[in-house]
Amino acid sequence: MNSPFFQRRSLLLAATTLLVLAGAVTLGLGRDAHSAKPPEPAAPPVNVTLARVQQQDMPIYQAGVGTVTPLASVTVKAQIDGQLERVGFTEGQDVKAGQMLAQLDPRAQQAQVQQAQAQKAKDQAQLANARLDLKRYTTLLAQDAATQQQFDTQKALVAQLDAAVKVDDAQINSAQVQLSYTKIVAPISGRVGARLVDPGNIVHASDANGLVVINQIDPIAVVFTLPGDAVQVIHRAQQANPQPLKVQVFTRDDKTLLATGQLVLVNNQIDTSSGTVQLKGRFANPTHRLWPGQYLNVHLVLGDRARALTVPAAVVQRNQEGTYAYVVSADDTVRLQPIKVALIQDGTAIIDAGLTAGERVVLDGQYKITTGTRVAAAPASAAAGAASAAGGAR
């Protein structure tokens, strides 16, 4: 039987132990509460430039550079020697084919025409008399009053004089042609340049410079070159399309379309020194937007790709596996999407596979992201240029 003293001692020890344990628990909880850190905030989204996948009809073309040239150019020259009396054009004006451009002194040629006509009249009179004599000899020969020789001689004289009249006709025609050369007319319609000879000067058929140059500028031509490898591609496009291929010409910055025409020439050989082939397009030019000597960019349209998926070329990235793009999901995170690129031209990529119309893709800032990164559209001021190229950033 335990004594009361030992019972009180046991209770005291138990109470003390409980107090020590409670203090330890309280101290541990306090330390845990003091050492616990608040949860870290989520990383902010990365600002990138975005673009939408577009679906549109896209022309497929070969690009080159070319020079505007007249469709036809004629240096108007005198065909005979003579004094230039007057000109019938104003420098820089348009002229029509057949319009009088210059008049030479015609008096010498008129005299030649009159001389030839007089000679013909003389020969015709002799021919008429010879024919009457031949008729008489025919009657006399039937009456045995003339010999066969006399008849044959008269018949030959008639033929000779008849030939002389024909020569006279040729001489008249020749003299009239020479006379017509004194009136110089425009051989083609076009625009005249500077007058090279003033009235009062003696001009010669051998003059190298001529009187004036006419350039046909409506329609007008553009001569351009493409790599020789393009010849087979062009031939396939021509065989697939019964209509002439379209040619588009742009300003040197490639932003403004000046005119659309058609291909009229693929040269019959490739230049071995440059490896290029020369081509020519023909363009209507009523407003004279194209001018001879103008240097511009040329697109030879080989065909159209209907409802093609397109993105700005900067969207397309490359790694060891091929081409890819960063696609933005609905939760604004990005994923690496392999894509197949059919063609890149003029800063636009045509996509064969991997993207769908309307998807958001990263246009700029790919170096800052990886799969799973949350992104936000860059401020408009930072993405203005890229956004316009992409058809609108989101």
Looking at residue 9, its pLDDT comes to: 55
CA-CA distances (angstroms) from residue 198 to 115, 194, 249?
31, 11, 38
β-strand pairing of 54-76 with 212-227: antiparallel
Looking at residue 13, its pLDDT comes to: 56
- Report residue 83: phi and psi, to 5°: -90, 130
Q: Which CATH architecture has domain 78-105+182-210?
A: Beta Barrel (2.40)
- Rounded Cα distance, 27 and 45, in Å: 41
CATH superfamily of 107-180: Helix hairpin bin (1.10.287.470)
pTM above 0.75, yes or no: no
Looking at residue 353, its pLDDT comes to: 92
Looking at residue 378, its pLDDT comes to: 80
Looking at residue 141, its pLDDT comes to: 85
Looking at residue 131, its pLDDT comes to: 93
- Rounded Cα distance, 103 and 76, in Å: 13
Q: Do domains 78-105+182-210 and 107-180 have the same CATH topology?
A: no
Looking at residue 137, its pLDDT comes to: 86
Q: Where are the domains of the chain?
A: 48-58+307-390, 78-105+182-210, 107-180
Q: Which two tokens stand for residue 70?
A: 């007249």
The whole-angstrom distance between residue 389's C-alpha and the CA centroid of its chain comes to 23
Radius of gyration of the chain (CA): 48
Looking at residue 351, its pLDDT comes to: 93
CA-CA distances (angstroms) from residue 374 to 104, 337, 364, 370?
86, 16, 15, 9
Q: Divide the 394 residues of the chain into consecutive groups of 10 and give the mean pLDDT of each group.
A: 52 56 51 54 83 90 94 95 95 94 96 96 95 91 88 94 96 96 96 95 93 96 95 92 93 92 96 95 95 95 89 92 92 92 87 92 90 83 45 40
Taking every pair of Cα atoms in the chain, the longest distance, rounded to a whole number of angstroms, is 207
Topology (CATH level 3) of domain 48-58+307-390: 2.40.420
> By three-state DSSP, how is residue 63 classified?
strand
Looking at residue 394, its pLDDT comes to: 36
Looking at residue 23, its pLDDT comes to: 54
One-letter amino acid at 299 equals: H
- Rounded Cα distance, 39 and 69, in Å: 74
Tell me if 201 sits within 8 A of 84, measured CB to CB: yes
